[in-house]
Amino acid sequence: MNLLMLIILLFFWVMLLFYSILTIAGVVQRLTKKKTVTLTNYPSIAVLIPAHNEDVVIKDTLNAMVKLKYPGELIVYVLDDNSKDDTEAIVQEFSQLFSRIRYIKVPPGEPTGKSRVLNYGLSITKSDYFLVYDADNQPDENAAIELIYAAETTKDAAGAVGYVKTVNANQNLLTRMIAIEFQVFQLLMQSGRWKMFRAGSLAGTNMLLKRDVLIAAGGYDPYALAEDAELTVRIAAMGKTLPVVHQSHTWEQEPENMKIFIKQRTRWLTGNLYLLEKSLHEWSFWKGKTFIYSLQHLLTYFVFVILLLISNTWFFLGLFGFSVPYFDVPLLIIWFLSYVIYTAQVISSMVLEESITPFNVFVGLIMYFTYAQFFLVLLLRSASQYIWSRITNKTITWDKTKRFKKGESE
């Protein structure tokens, strides 16, 4: 038993050390001075926006698309996937006013979801690059050109990935925590992985890809609910890189209540479990730089969960007076150091984003005991659904995230 505990503690210490180093590398990368870039030729870009019942948000999205600055050809394709609301009417109105906006009706098909829609968008366009935005996104005017600069000047680049910010961060405590999570894990950790390993990850939106690379990869996997993570691994297996461009920003809406949040994150986590299973069957997912992504998924969705379950069980057994085996190693230190490292990541991201306020600091101090712990429940929920789908041989369908009007929440 002592040997088992020592092995568990060793894994925990290694993970804490790794994420600490990753945080430092992310800070260094963020503070690195940007190089001046000029291009003699600007390749063509097709902006693909999958849309399903998006009339609440699509107008703001298209207003942002119209303002995108790009010296070359840039055409925006709204891919309407069987919308039943006013999405078509709004997009058609924009297409009549702005030549870069195009409305595309996507034919019905199976399986449903974002991957199938993007594959269709790829089949009807001929640009050098395509740039994906979700239908609730409002990119900054320089978002596209910053991504092109990185993709065109980075060796073996398959494209580039930008940063996702939360447009409704001030709506309530949940959206504030989501915004902070994105600051830490979609920017600071991303920047750290790029600095250390030259390994960026697609974020699902505000991501630029070379058409020929995606065609060579076989397009999107229509069964992948986390299509961005799955495609990231296949691109890495091809020996390609995805530079992280923290200067390229898009603003998106996040869930404003727990019901919507649970449904969204269950889909995300289920998609990552699909990727984890896929990686266990394909050796190419463990070769070269691809090893970094596969190891990350294994640590995040298997090893870390086991460690968290053990530490939580130990804590609550002791808290309620149950007799537990004694170990020379002070287990409370593990909890304390985990909290310190997690909170240090949160505060560091706030400093870099210049979003540090008394309220944000308070939220950051409580996130480890609230928001972070909730992901254990979400992962168990996702795992049970995924295992049941495998037993019954049923495909888990795509579950679209509900949108909210500005200032309104259920």
pLDDT of residue 199: 87
pLDDT at residue 287, as a whole number: 73
Q: How far apart are CA 192 and CA 31, in angstroms?
A: 11
| Upper half-sphere CA count for residue 274 (Cβ side, 13 Å) | 25
**What span, in angstroms and rounded, lies between the C-alpha atoms of 252 and 50?**
14
pLDDT of res. 398: 72
Determine contact, residues 260/174, Cβ cutoff 8 Å: no
SS (H, E, C) 169-212: CCCCHHHHHHHHHHHHHHHHHHHHHHHHHCCCCCCCCCEEEEHH
3-state secondary structure at position 75: strand
Q: Crossing angle for the helix pair 227-237 and 290-298, nearest 10 degrees?
A: 140
Reported as a pLDDT band with limits 50, 70 and 90, residue 311 is low
Least confident span in 8-17, 123-132, 136-145:
8-17
pLDDT band (50, 70, 90) for residue 14: confident
Which residues make Cβ contacts (< 8 Å) with residue 266, sequence separation at least 6? 378, 381, 382, 385, 399
235 and 217 in contact (C-beta within 8 Å)?
Answer: yes
Q: In order of start, what are the domains of the chain with their CATH numbers? A: 40-256 (3.90.550.10)
| Between residues 380 and 332, the one the model is more confident about | 380
Phi and psi (nearest 5°) for 116?
-65, -40
Residue-level pLDDT at 226: 85
Q: At 45, is the pLDDT very low, low, confident or very high (cuts 50, 70, 90)? A: very high
What is the per-residue pLDDT across 180-216, written as a single tens digit (0 to 9) for each? 988 887 778 889 889 988 888 898 899 999 999 999 9
- Tell the residue number behind the tokens 């190089």, with chain if given: 35
Q: What is the CA radius of gyration of the chain?
A: 22
CA distances from 313 to 306, 310, 322 (A): 11, 5, 11
32-41, 96-105, 260-269, 302-311: range with lowest mean pLDDT: 302-311
User: Which pTM was predicted?
Assistant: 0.88
Average model confidence (pLDDT) across the chain: 86
pLDDT, mean of residues 286-299? 71
Could you tell me if residue 201 is left (phi over 0), alpha (psi between -120 and 50 degrees) or otherwise beta? Answer: beta
- For 352-367, the pLDDT digits (tens) are 888 889 999 999 999 9
Percent above pLDDT 70 for the chain: 86
The count of other CB atoms within 10 Å of the CB of residue 10 is 10
Phi and psi of 165, rounded to 5°?
-110, 160
